[in-house]
Amino acid sequence: MSAREEILDAVRGALRDADRAEAVVPRGYRSVAATDVVELFAERVVDYRAALTRCTAAELPDAIRNALGPARKVLVPEGFPVDVGGVEAELVAYDAVVTTAALGIATTGTLVLDHGPGQGRRALSLVPDVHVCVLREDQIVPGVPQAVAALDPARPQTWISGPSATSDIELTRVEGVHGPRTLHVIVVAG
């Protein structure tokens, strides 16, 4: 008997002896109460090693300036709702980008850009070393199914869960390899 046949035989034996009632795997998604989505989103964003600021609309300009830190050349895509300065040119010339997002996903802490007004083309969120992303609380959905239902499948999408990072074979984490080293999410109340 080959190793493959031995493994399959062991699996069949285990399944034969298993209580079928206990083996049923629920297919439903974990639901999140609507009142919890903002808090859960905030927790998950921080879990992904992104910075998080919560503010009001009146506090937004100061929150953006604080999130940008020492960045001096800031790219702001057309259609961004707040004047923070910056114009589009060669991407490598910029320290940071400030965008909006189409929505945020609470269960995963993911931002989704569909590259509409205030978001710019995909490369804008990948090249500068710092990405500051502004999201209103009412743009946060409970989970992936709700996000997929809310998004236009004909639009390009970029899903972002934390700053860019990768690990080598020894599990050494390196940030900023495939995109921004720093992600700062600003969630605006109201």
142 neighbors 106 (Cβ within 8 angstroms)? yes
Report the pLDDT value the prediction gives residue 122, as an integer from 0 to 100: 86
Is 81's pLDDT higher than 60?
yes
Report the pLDDT value the prediction gives residue 6, as an integer from 0 to 100: 85
Report the pLDDT value the prediction gives residue 189, as an integer from 0 to 100: 96
* Average pLDDT score over residue span 86-106: 81
**What kind and span of H or E run contains 173?**
strand 173-175
The SS3 call for residue 98 is strand
Instruction: State the average pLDDT for the chain.
Output: 84
Residues 85-98: b if buried by 16+ CB within 10 A, e if exposed = ebeeeeeeebebbb
CA distance 44 to 24: 29
CA distance 185 to 86: 19
Q: What HEC string does 49-100 produce?
A: CCEEEEECCCCHHHHHHHHHCCCCCEECCCCCCCCCCCCCCCHHHCCEEEEE
Report the pLDDT value the prediction gives residue 77, as an integer from 0 to 100: 86
* Average pLDDT score over residue span 184-188: 97
Tell me which CATH code domain 32-188 carries.
Answer: 3.40.50.10420
Q: What is this structure's pTM? A: 0.76
CA distance 27 to 9: 27
Is 61's pLDDT higher than 70?
yes
**Most confident listed range (64-78, 116-130, 136-150, 159-173):** 136-150
Task: Please write the tens of the pLDDT for every residue from 28-44.
Answer: 555 565 558 999 999 99
> How confident is residue 171, by pLDDT bands cut at 50, 70 and 90?
confident
Per domain, the residue ranges of the chain are 32-188
> How confident is residue 159, by pLDDT bands cut at 50, 70 and 90?
very high
Task: Please write the tens of the pLDDT for every residue from 117-142.
Answer: 999 988 888 888 899 999 999 999 99
